[in-house]
C-alpha cells in the first residue's frame, strides 16, 4: 500500500505538463448550454409541495430523445414527489468493458427570493458570473454532462463502451432515488465506475491563479442521530436534581470531548504528503503532518492536526451537536430533552463503532441514541490511474501545469451511495471558484463564473471521450 500511495503521489504531482492548448467550446454548444442552464435553474427542484424535479426530468428526457437517443434508452424513474433520469449512450462494445456512469443531481436547496439580491429561480449574469440557485451546486455541472452527451451524439461519435447518464432527484435530502436505482434498477446504471460532477473541481486565488484541482475518491458518510433524555417532569416551582435538560447538557459536554481513532488511507496520505511540502504551512505544521503520516496511530499528532482548521476532520470521524429542543412550557420541568448530533464518518469506520464511541463518551444509560433514516457506510474508491490521468489531461487542457491531487471530501453526495453498492465513484468536475469568495452553495446569491462554466463544457466532453474510447464502427 505504501508503494501504491507513493506512485499516485508522484503521478498527481509530476504528470507531464505538455497538454494540448485549450479551445473554447463551439459557439453553438455554448448557446445550447446557456439555454439549458437557464431552463434548469427555473425549475424549483426542492422537496415538498410544488417540487418540480419530475418536470425537469421529463423536459431533459424529451431533449435527449429529440437529439436521437432511442426512447428505450431514456428513462424517467418517479419516486414520491421527485424523480431520477437515466440515459444510455450506446457504444459498439469493442472495448470489452462495462459502462461508465456519469452522475449529477437535479434537486437543490431551498432559496427564498426575499433573501437574495436577484431572483434565485431565474438565471442572471453580471460581472462575469452566472447567478441562480444551483449554478454551482450542481446544475452547472449537470448541464456540462448533458451537453457533452448531446454534443458527442450530434458529432456521430460512437464510444467503444456504453456511457450512462444518471441525474438523481433528492441528493440534498434523503438520497432515495440513487438508492432506488441501485437496488431496483441496477441494470440501468450498472457500471465499472462512476464519474461525479458533484465532486472534484478547482480553487483559484483572488488574483486568478489556480491553486489546484481535487480528484475526489472518497467521502465521509453522513449520519445524524438524536440524543433523548426523558423525565417525569413537574412544576418549575419545585426543582429536582433529575432535570432532563441538565442531564442532556452534561452528556453533550462529555460528548464534545470525545475523540475517534485516527485513520489514514491512500487518498488522505497523498493529500497530507503534499501538505507536508506546502510552503503555505509553517514548518512546525509540515513536521506534524509528516509525523502523523509516518504513524497514523499517533493520536497526539492526530489531535494536534485536528485542532488546526485546515485539517479538521481529515484524520478521523467527527460528531457535533447541531440542534436542541426541550420542554413544553416555561413554568414546567421538561419531560423530554432532545439534541441532534451530526456525524461525518471516515471511510471504513462502522456505524456501530460510532454509536459505541458516543455512548462511552457520554457514559449515561439514560441518554437514548437513535439513528435518523437509513445510513449507508461506504468505503473509499480505489485510486485508478486511468481515471486520474484522464481527469488530469482534461483539467490541464484548460489550465496547463496545474496541480491535481486525490482528495477525500468531508461532505457527502450520491457518490457515497454508489460506493456502498459496489460502484467506485470519482468526483471529477472541471469547474472552479475563487477561494473565500465563490463558495455560496446552499447560501445567498449562489454563483458560478461564466468562464468556469464554459471550460467545464469542454472538460466533460474531452474526459468522457478519453475514457470511453472510440468504437470501430461509425454512427448511421
Q: Which one has a higher pLDDT value, 14 or 286?
A: 286
Task: Dump pLDDT digits (tens) for 257-288.
Answer: 999 999 999 999 999 999 999 888 999 999 99
**Total residue count of the chain as it appears in this document:** 476
- Cα separation, 167 vs 141, in Å, equals 11
What is the model's pLDDT at position 474? 56
Q: Which one has a higher pLDDT value, 475 or 58?
A: 58
3-state helix, strand, coil in the chain (%, to 5): 35, 25, 40
What is the model's pLDDT at position 441? 86
Answer for the pair 133, 443: CB distance below 8 angstroms, yes or no: no
pLDDT at 473 exceeding the cut of 90: no
Task: Dump pLDDT digits (tens) for 192-213.
Answer: 999 999 999 999 998 888 999 9
What is the model's pLDDT at position 280? 86
Neighbouring C-beta atoms of residue 44, cutoff 10 Å = 18
* Domains of the chain, first to last: 11-220+378-468 (3.40.630.10), 221-371 (3.30.70.360)
Answer for the pair 260, 317: CB distance below 8 angstroms, yes or no: yes
- Cα separation, 7 vs 221, in Å, equals 27
DSSP H stretches of helix in 220-350: 244-256, 266-275, 283-294, 299-306
Q: Which residues contact 276 (CB under 8 A, 6 or more apart)?
A: 286, 289, 290, 293
Strand order of the sheet with strand 129-131?
A: 124-126, 129-131, 447-449
pLDDT at 356 exceeding the cut of 90: yes
Task: Dump pLDDT digits (tens) for 100-111.
Answer: 999 999 999 999
Least confident of 17-31, 69-83, 169-183, 193-207: 17-31
- Cα separation, 70 vs 67, in Å, equals 9
Q: Find, among 85, 122, 119, the residue nearest to 105 by Cα.
A: 85
Half-sphere exposure for 187 (CA within 13 Å, toward CB):
2
Neighbouring C-beta atoms of residue 290, cutoff 10 Å = 15
What is the model's pLDDT at position 5? 33
Q: Find, among 406, 413, 231, 221, the residue nearest to 326 by Cα.
A: 231
Q: In Å, how far are 20, 210, 372, 375, 415 from 221, measured between CA atoms?
A: 38, 29, 13, 8, 10
What is the model's pLDDT at position 91? 98
Torsion of CA 120, 123, 126, 131, to 10 degrees: 40
Mean pLDDT to the nearest integer, 137-154: 98
- Cα separation, 336 vs 363, in Å, equals 19
The residues pairing with 36 across neighbouring beta strands, listed in sequence order, are none
Phi and psi, residue 3, nearest 5°: -65, -45
Q: Give, rounded to a whole angstrom, the gap between the first and last alpha carbons of the chain.
A: 47
pLDDT at 395 exceeding the cut of 50: yes
The residues pairing with 89 across neighbouring beta strands, listed in sequence order, are 163
Average pLDDT, the chain: 93
Amino acid at each position: 500500500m505504501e508503494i501504491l500511495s507513493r506512485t499516485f503521489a508522484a503521478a498527481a504531482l509530476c504528470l507531464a505538463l505538455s497538454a494540448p492548448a485549450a479551445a473554447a467550446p463551439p459557439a453553438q454548444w455554448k448557446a445550447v448550454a446557456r439555454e439549458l442552464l437557464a431552463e434548469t435553474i427555473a425549475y424549483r427542484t426542492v422537496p415538498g409541495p410544488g417540487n418540480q424535479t419530475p418536470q425537469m426530468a421529463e423536459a431533459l428526457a424529451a431533449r435527449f430523445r429529440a437529439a436521437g437517443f432511442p426512447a428505450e434508452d431514456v428513462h424517467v424513474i418517479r419516486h414520491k414527489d421527485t424523480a431520477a433520469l437515466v440515459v444510455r449512450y450506446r457504444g459498439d462494445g469493442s472495448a470489452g468493458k462495462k459502462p461508465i456512469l456519469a452522475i449529477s443531481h437535479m434537486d437543490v436547496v431551498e432559496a427564498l427570493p426575499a433573501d437574495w439580491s436577484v431572483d434565485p429561480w431565474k438565471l442572471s449574469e453580471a460581472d462575469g458570473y452566472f447567478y441562480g440557485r444551483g449554478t454551482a451546486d450542481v446544475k452547472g455541472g449537470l448541464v456540462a454532462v448533458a451537453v457533452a452527451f448531446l454534443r458527442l451524439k450530434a458529432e456521430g461519435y460512437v464510444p467503444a463502451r456504453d456511457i450512462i447518464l444518471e441525474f438523481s432527484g433528492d441528493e440534498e435530502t434523503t438520497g432515495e432515488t440513487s438508492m432506488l436505482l441501485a437496488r431496483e434498477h441496477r441494470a440501468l446504471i450498472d457500471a465499472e465506475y462512476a464519474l461525479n460532477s458533484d465532486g472534484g473541481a478547482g480553487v483559484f486565488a483572488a488574483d486568478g491563479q489556480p491553486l489546484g484541482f481535487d480528484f475526489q475518491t472518497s467521502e465521509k458518510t453522513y449520519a445524524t442521530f438524536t440524543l433523548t433524555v426523558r423525565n417525569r417532569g413537574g412544576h418549575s416551582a419545585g426543582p429536582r436534581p433529575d432535570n432532563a435538560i441538565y442531564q442532556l447538557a452534561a452528556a453533550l459536554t462529555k460528548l464534545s470531548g470525545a475523540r475517534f481513532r485516527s485513520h489514514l488511507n491512500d487518498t488522505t496520505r497523498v493529500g497530507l504528503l503534499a501538505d507536508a511540502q506546502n510552503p503555505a504551512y509553517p514548518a512546525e505544521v509540515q513536521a506534524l503532518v509528516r509525523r502523523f503520516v509516518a504513524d497514523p496511530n499517533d493520536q497526539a499528532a492526530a489531535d494536534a492536526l485536528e485542532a488546526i482548521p485546515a485539517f479538521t476532520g481529515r484524520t478521523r470521524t467527527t460528531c457535533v451537536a447541531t440542534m436542541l429542543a426541550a420542554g413544553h412550557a416555561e413554568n414546567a420541568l421538561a419531560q423530554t430533552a432532545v439534541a441532534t448530533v451530526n456525524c461525518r464518518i471516515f471511510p471504513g469506520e462502522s456505524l456501530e463503532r460510532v454509536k459505541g464511541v458516543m455512548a462511552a463518551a457520554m457514559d449515561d444509560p439514560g441518554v437514548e441514541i437513535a439513528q435518523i433514516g437509513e445510513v449507508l457506510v461506504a468505503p473509499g474508491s480505489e485510486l485508478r490511474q486511468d481515471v486520474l490521468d484522464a481527469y488530469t489531461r482534461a483539467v490541464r487542457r484548460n489550465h496547463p501545469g496545474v496541480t491535481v491531487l486525490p482528495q477525500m471530501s468531508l461532505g457527502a453526495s450520491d457518490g457515497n451511495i454508489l460506493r456502498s453498492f459496489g460502484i467506485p465513484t470519482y468526483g471529477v468536475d472541471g469547474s472552479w471558484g475563487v477561494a473565500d469568495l465563490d463558495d455560496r452553495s446552499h447560501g445567498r446569491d449562489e454563483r458560478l463564473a461564466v468562464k468556469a462554466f464554459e471550460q467545464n463544457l469542454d472538460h466533460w466532453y474531452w474526459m468522457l471521450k478519453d475514457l470511453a474510447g472510440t468504437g470501430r464502427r461509425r454512427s448511421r
